[in-house]
Amino acid sequence: MKKIFLFILILFLVSLLAACDSSRKPAIGPEDEIYIVADSLEFDELKLALETALEIEINTPLPEKLFNLKRISHNQIDKFKTRKNIVIIAPLSSGSYTSQFIESIIDSSVRDKFLTESDFILRRYDLWAKNQLVTVLTAPSMQELEFKVLKNKDNILYAYQKISDKRLFESLYNRTYERRDVQGKLLRDYGWVIYVQADFQLALDKPEGNFIWLRRSPGSDMERWIFIHWIENATPEYLNIDTIRTIRNRVTQKFYLTADDSAYVVIAEDFFTWNEVNFKERYAIFTQGLWDLNIKGMGGPFVNYTFYDEKSKRIYMLDGSVYAPKYYKRNLIQQVDVMLQSFLTKEELSESRIKELLKAAQD
Phi, psi for 191 (deg, rounded to 5): 80, 20
pLDDT mean across residues, the chain: 93
pLDDT at 71: 98
Per-residue pLDDT tens digits for 204-213: 999 999 999 9
pLDDT at 179: 95
Per-residue pLDDT tens digits for 116-158: 999 999 999 999 999 999 999 999 999 999 999 999 999 999 9
What DSSP state is assigned to residue 295?
A: T
pLDDT at 330: 95
> What is the CATH code of the structural domain delimited by 16-171?
3.30.379
Q: Is pLDDT above 80 for 265?
A: yes
pLDDT tier, 22 (very low <50, low <70, confident <90, very high otherwise): very low
> What is the CATH code of the structural domain delimited by 174-362?
3.40.1000.10
For the chain, domain boundaries: 16-171, 174-362
Contact 88, 137 (CB under 8 A): yes
Per-residue pLDDT tens digits for 35-86: 999 999 999 999 999 999 999 999 999 999 999 999 999 999 999 999 999 9
Q: Is pLDDT above 50 for 3?
A: no
Q: What is the DSSP string of 59-81?
A: ESSSEEES-EEEEE-GGGHHHHT
Contact 310, 316 (CB under 8 A): no
Residues 6+ apart with CB under 8 A from 269: none
Q: Do domains 16-171 and 174-362 have the same CATH topology?
A: no
- Mean predicted confidence (pLDDT) in 101-109: 95
Q: Crossing angle of helices 153-172/330-340, nearest 10°?
A: 80
pLDDT cut 90: percent of the chain above it: 87
Per-residue pLDDT tens digits for 286-333: 999 999 999 987 899 999 999 999 999 999 999 999 999 999 999 999
Q: Is pLDDT above 90 for 259?
A: no
35 sits in which H/E element: strand 33-37
Q: Distance between CA atoms of 318 and 340, rounded to whole angstroms?
A: 6
Within the chain, what is the greatest distance between any pair of CA atoms?
75
pLDDT tier, 17 (very low <50, low <70, confident <90, very high otherwise): very low
Q: Where are the beta strands (DSSP E) in 218-298?
A: 223-231, 265-267, 273-278, 283-293
